[in-house]
Amino acid sequence: MTPAKRIAIAAAVITAAAAGTFYYLREDSAPRTYQGWVEAQLIFVSPDEAGRVESLSVREGDSIEAGAPLFKLDNDLQRAASAEAEAALANARITYDRAKELLKRNVGSQKAADDAESALRTAEAKLNSANTKLERRKVNAPVTGTIQEIYFRQGEMVQSGRPIVSMLPPGNVRVRFFVPQATLPTISIGDRIAVQCDGCQSDLVARVNFISAQAEFTPPVIYSQDERSRLVFRIEATPERPQDLRVGQPVSVAPSAAGGEAHARK
C-alpha cells in the first residue's frame, strides 16, 4: 500500500470518527421526546329514570354554559304521580284537621290525632318527591363545556343511568405520556412540558399534574423511539391552551430540563 493510500484511509477514519462523535454529542444534548396522546375526562349526563327523549336542546360541538338546558324526557307518568300525591295530601290535610277538631272537643283520641299528623307529613313528603321527579325530567348542563357526543335522539327510549350526552369541560383535557424509570427523577409535579403534534402550533405547553407511583409495560399504542426499557411510568399534564388540542391526537412531549423529586399526586 502506497503512503498516499495510507494517508487517505487514515483521513477517512478520522473524519468518520469525528462525525460520529459530533452526531452523538448533538443527539445526547438534544432534549429527549416521548410519545403520548391527548385524553379527555368526559362528563356523562344521564336521566334519573327511564323514559323517551322528548326534545334535545343541543348539538354536537355546541359550547354550553353550566345550567343551560340539555334535553327533556316525557313526563306523563311523573305528572300523573304528582297529581295523585297532591290529591292524597289534600285528603290527609282534611283528615288531620278533623282529628284536631275532635281532640279539642274531647271526642277523638290523641293517638288518632298523632296518626293523622304523621299521615299528613308523609303525604307532603310524597308530593315533594313527585314534584322533584317531574322537574328532573328537564336536565340542564352540570358544567360548562363542549358537547362531545349525543347517544340518544328525539323519540328514542333511554334507561336510567344511560348517558344521553357527553360533555368536555376545558379543564378536563390531559396530555398522557410514558417515560422510563431513568427519566422519572427529572420530572416533577408542576413542570412545564413542550407539546408537539401534526398541524399544531409550535408553542403548546402543558404542566405535569400526575406522576404514577407504579410501573407498567409500554402500551401497544405507544411506538417509542427507544425500546431499551419496556417498563415505564404514566405521566399526565394539563395543557395551558386545551382548545388547541384534539382528543385522541398523538403528540410528542419534551419535558423540561430542570429536575426534582417526583411524587405520585393527583
Strands 165-168 and 145-150, sheet pairing: antiparallel
For the segment 153-164, the average pLDDT, to the nearest whole number, is 94
Q: For residue 234, what pLDDT band results from cuts at 50, 70 and 90?
A: confident
For the segment 123-132, the average pLDDT, to the nearest whole number, is 95
Ordered by where they begin, the domains of the chain are 31-40+170-255 (2.40.30.170), 43-73+137-168 (2.40.50.100), 76-135 (1.10.287.470)
State the chain's mean pLDDT as an integer. 82
Q: Which of the two residues, 230 and 152, has the higher pLDDT score?
A: 152
Q: 218 pLDDT exceeds 70? A: no
Q: In the prediction, which pLDDT does 29 show?
A: 47
Q: In the prediction, which pLDDT does 63 show?
A: 94
The string of pLDDT tens digits covering residues 187-209 is 889 999 999 888 888 889 999 99
Q: In the prediction, which pLDDT does 22 show?
A: 43
